[in-house]
Amino acid sequence: SSEVLEAIENVIQGVLQSLAQKKAPVLTVANRADWRNIEFKDSVGLQMIPHCTTKQIRSDCPQSAPRFALMLKILSMIYKMVQSNTYATKRDIYYSDTLLFGSQSAVDGLINDISCMLKIPRRSLHILSATKGFVAGNLSYTEEDGTKVNCTCSATVFTVPSNVQGIKNLISHAKFVLIVEKDATFQRLLDDDFFTKVSPCIMITGRGVPDLNTRLLVRKLWDSFQIPIFSLMDADPHGVEIMCVYKYGSVSMSFEAHHLTVPSIKWLGLLPSDLKRLNISKDALIPFTKQDQNKLASIQKRPYIACQPLWKKELEIMAASKLKAEIQVLTSLSQDYLSRVYLPNKLQFGGWV
């Protein structure tokens, strides 16, 4: 906490020095969304380069002055929270003055900019993000406040903790972790009692694009147990994108890649090559939209695809067919095909890439 307070004090000192010299204060933040500031490293994923391009948020320019003021406002809130050892969610910060902040997404962007500028992870700034992910299966742990969570003894779903860093005493006999893209598939596997039938495992879903806490938990499970981590996504560009976020990280959070990515994640399914192999009827598949084509083309150009020849091949199959499929397409073979046949076969015979 002293490191956080010192970092904020340094920023404020810079502002005061500028004012003392009769200059307009400026905050300098990295261009987080610029691919030119990102490098790909096998062992980490997408990370920010040390000397990246920056942008200045000036206090004397009508376009950026409001942003400058809002950043100082949030810095003062963080300073008070760290001093008093209290926490707030991004939502709490937005609702503390909705007229001032304007929108939740504006607050989210400001917080990420501050975290990047101070080079301090968001959790250390005492800002929690709302959790939407679920976890189930062979896992028990103790939350920071002492609450014991045992996912093992029931088919109950537990919400991913809002302070993943604070959880301890993680115990599991799981043989692997399964990341499931969507809530519906996750619930289906729970109903089929998948995580006890095949072999003990931990299932986790970010219910679409994963939030920070779900990504942190996947990373914590990897650090704690070093067991294989598989991903089960729709066979479409959106599913591939989500899997890449877990595995290699996102451009906007690349400054935190070391805490968030798990480059060892394997693509278990649904593979584009599976659709042909399983003789899935063309009628059950969905034609690409223009948006799908653009998304796939952009993924194919990314630096990490070049070092994944098997992924490259799967994406080429998808691009050539211009067809996509949801995991639910497997119910056209039989109602419980996913948990009874598809996943057990894949896990037994190594059907992942």
Active site residues: 95
Q: Residue 129 gets which letter from DSSP?
A: P
* Amino acid identity, position 211: D
How would you label 306-337 residue by residue, b for 16+ Cβ within 10 Å and e otherwise? Answer: eebeebeebbebbbebebbbbbebbeebeebe
Q: Judge if the upstream peptide bond of residue 270 is cis by omega within 30 degrees of 0.
A: yes
Q: Quote the CA–CA distance of 268 and 328 in Å, as a whole number.
A: 15
Q: Which two tokens stand for residue 261?
A: 């990515």
Task: Please name which of 227, 246, 264 lies closest in space to residue 138, comparing C-alpha atoms.
Answer: 227
The answer to whether residues 92 and 128 touch, using CB atoms and an 8 Å cutoff, is no
User: E-strand spans in 86-133?
Assistant: 88-89, 127-128
The answer to whether residues 114 and 74 touch, using CB atoms and an 8 Å cutoff, is yes
The answer to whether residues 324 and 280 touch, using CB atoms and an 8 Å cutoff, is no
Q: Quote the CA–CA distance of 162 and 211 in Å, as a whole number.
A: 10
* Three-class secondary structure of residue 231 per DSSP: strand
Task: Please name which of 32, 340, 345, 324 lies closest in space to residue 181, comparing C-alpha atoms.
Answer: 324
